[in-house]
Amino acid sequence: MTAKQELGFEISISGRNDGTLEAVYITVRDGMAAKTKEVIEDILLADYDNRGRLVGIEILAPVKISKLTPLVDEKRRKPFRNFVKMQAPQDLVLA
């Protein structure tokens, strides 16, 4: 499943055959990941390009949305938060 918004956010959801969610990846901008930072061990990863800009966020276990928004540029935080609230599975992204 993939969803897009005008600001360029995209969400990809992967799951198992039994319907269990495995991960959510939120693309924040186009580009290739050059570095991955573990924000919360075994739960939240952030990919950055070679200029240090956030490319995407991978969610591997339930996390509060308040842990995601500070990773995004300040001017895009509100639209990002709204996008995630509407598009991300509530099993993995908690309000």
Per-residue pLDDT tens digits for 60-78: 999 999 999 999 999 999 9
Residue of higher predicted confidence among 12 and 91: 12
pTM: 0.86
Alpha helices in the chain (DSSP H): 65-68, 77-87
| Paired tokens of 17 | 């055959």
66 within 8 A of 45, measured Cβ to Cβ: no
SS (H, E, C) 55-82: EEEEECCCEEHHHHHHHCCHHHHHHHHH
